[in-house]
């Protein structure tokens, strides 16, 4: 059973990937072994889980398939990709998801050409004033990767917002160095709401976990009643989670997510706050001696 949160029982957990369940691996970011254990425990308790990431579907599917090879048995009910679309991990998506995706795609294809036309006169100056490592402009996306740390992505996002101030339906989102433009009626909060409605779940049945500014629309307590973020989340995210009465973990990254799952769902995998013993690839806990050889 799930633990009661507020006046509901958690039946579904929505998780961002980067900064919440991923850890570095030899071939790139992978779902942490302890996070795999926690997801499997959600499945054993009959609690669904789904991803909601800015990553595209194929990238998320690759990450999850890799985790299946390391013992993930509780498969995600849905993969929400590009902050817009709802996909099945395996098999055909239900009609409600197909209808949502078709409407979202039509909206994007009417939105982005207009936004790119508005930005076009300023692109040369943006390239000169900001170190743009990558520009993605097509029928369904307008996004930029800003090089460097610190204040540069924030200043670039503010400049984009200023250029687009006449476009009342446009919102500029940040995720680390990535800065993207989306229609105001889409984004992580909107797609989470569509997914929950398709499963006949109310806000008090769901928990959302994220860490970056593009997660804010699903962490303000309006889409899911339970919200949480790791201890190293963006300050604006932590403030939003606190305002919503959610859980700001003491631990960073995936360990913070484990802490949230423990507090909200009663899921315990070792101790997320200290000295957890190492876990082998297949999910079996190692002895201290074996762990020292990892």
pLDDT, tens digit, for every residue of 218-276?
999 999 999 999 999 989 999 999 999 999 999 999 999 999 999 999 888 864 444 34
Q: Please say whether the beta carbons of 223 and 244 come within 8 A.
A: no
Indicate whether 283 pLDDT > 60: no
Q: Please say whether the beta carbons of 247 and 241 come within 8 A.
A: yes
Q: What is the pLDDT of residue 274?
A: 40
Q: Please say whether the beta carbons of 271 and 279 come within 8 A.
A: no
Q: What is the pLDDT of residue 288?
A: 30
Helix (H/G/I), strand (E/B), else coil: 287: coil
Q: What is the pLDDT of residue 280?
A: 36
Dihedral sign for Cα atoms in the order 78, 82, 83, 85: negative
| Structure confidence at residue 150 as a pLDDT band (50, 70, 90) | low
pLDDT, tens digit, for every residue of 185-212?
999 999 999 999 999 999 999 999 999 8
pLDDT, tens digit, for every residue of 55-98?
899 999 999 999 999 999 999 999 999 999 999 998 889 999 99
Cα dihedral 259, 260, 263, 264 in deg (nearest 10): -160
Q: DSSP letter string over 85-125? A: EEE-SSSPPPHHHHHHHHHHHHHHHHHHHHHHHHHGGGHHH
pLDDT, tens digit, for every residue of 152-192?
888 888 898 999 988 888 888 888 788 899 998 999 999 99
User: Strands, E, within the chain: which ranges?
Assistant: 4-5, 8-9, 12-15, 22-25, 28-31, 48-52, 78-81, 85-87, 132-138, 141-146, 170-175, 178-183, 206-209, 226-229, 247-248
Indicate whether 277 pLDDT > 80: no
pLDDT, tens digit, for every residue of 20-44?
999 876 567 899 999 999 999 999 9
Q: What is the pLDDT of residue 6?
A: 52
Indicate whether 132 pLDDT > 50: yes
Q: What is the pLDDT of residue 48?
A: 95
Q: Please say whether the beta carbons of 215 and 16 come within 8 A.
A: yes
Q: Please say whether the beta carbons of 143 and 136 come within 8 A.
A: yes
- Cα 48 to Cα 14: distance, rounded to the nearest angstrom: 9
Q: 213 Cβ partners below 8 Å, 6+ apart?
A: 173, 174, 175, 234, 236, 237
């Amino acid at each position: 059973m799930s633990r009661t949160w507020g006046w509901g029982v958690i039946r579904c957990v929505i998780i961002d990937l980067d900064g919440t369940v991923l850890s570095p691996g030899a071939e790139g970011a992978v779902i942490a072994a302890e996070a795999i254990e926690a997801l499997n425990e959600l499945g054993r308790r009959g609690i669904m889980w789904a991803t909601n990431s800015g990553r595209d579907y194929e990238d998320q599917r690759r990450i999850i398939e890799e985790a299946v090879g390391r013992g993930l048995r509780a498969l995600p009910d849905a993969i929400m990709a590009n902050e817009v679309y709802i996909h099945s991990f395996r098999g055909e998506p239900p009609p409600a998801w197909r209808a949502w995706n078709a409407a979202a795609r039509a909206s994007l294809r009417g939105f982005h050409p207009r936004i790119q036309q508005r930005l076009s006169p300023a692109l040369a100056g943006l390239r000169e004033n900001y170190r743009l490592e990558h520009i993605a402009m097509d029928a369904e996306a307008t996004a930029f990767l800003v090089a460097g740390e610190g204040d540069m992505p924030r200043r670039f996002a503010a400049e984009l917002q200023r250029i687009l101030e006449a476009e009342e339906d446009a919102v500029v989102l940040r995720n680390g160095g990535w800065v993207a433009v989306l229609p105001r009626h889409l984004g992580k909060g909107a797609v989470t709401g569509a997914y929950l409605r398709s499963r006949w779940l109310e806000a008090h049945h769901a928990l959302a976990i994220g860490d970056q500014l593009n997660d804010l629309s699903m962490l303000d307590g309006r889409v899911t009643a339970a919200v949480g973020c790791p201890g190293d989340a963006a300050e604006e995210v932590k403030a939003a989670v606190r305002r919503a009465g959610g859980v700001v973990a003491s631990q960073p990254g995936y360990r913070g997510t484990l802490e949230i799952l423990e507090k909200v769902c009663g899921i315990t995998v070792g101790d997320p706050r200290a000295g957890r013993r190492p876990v082998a690839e297949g999910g079996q806990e190692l002895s201290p001696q074996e762990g020292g050889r990892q």
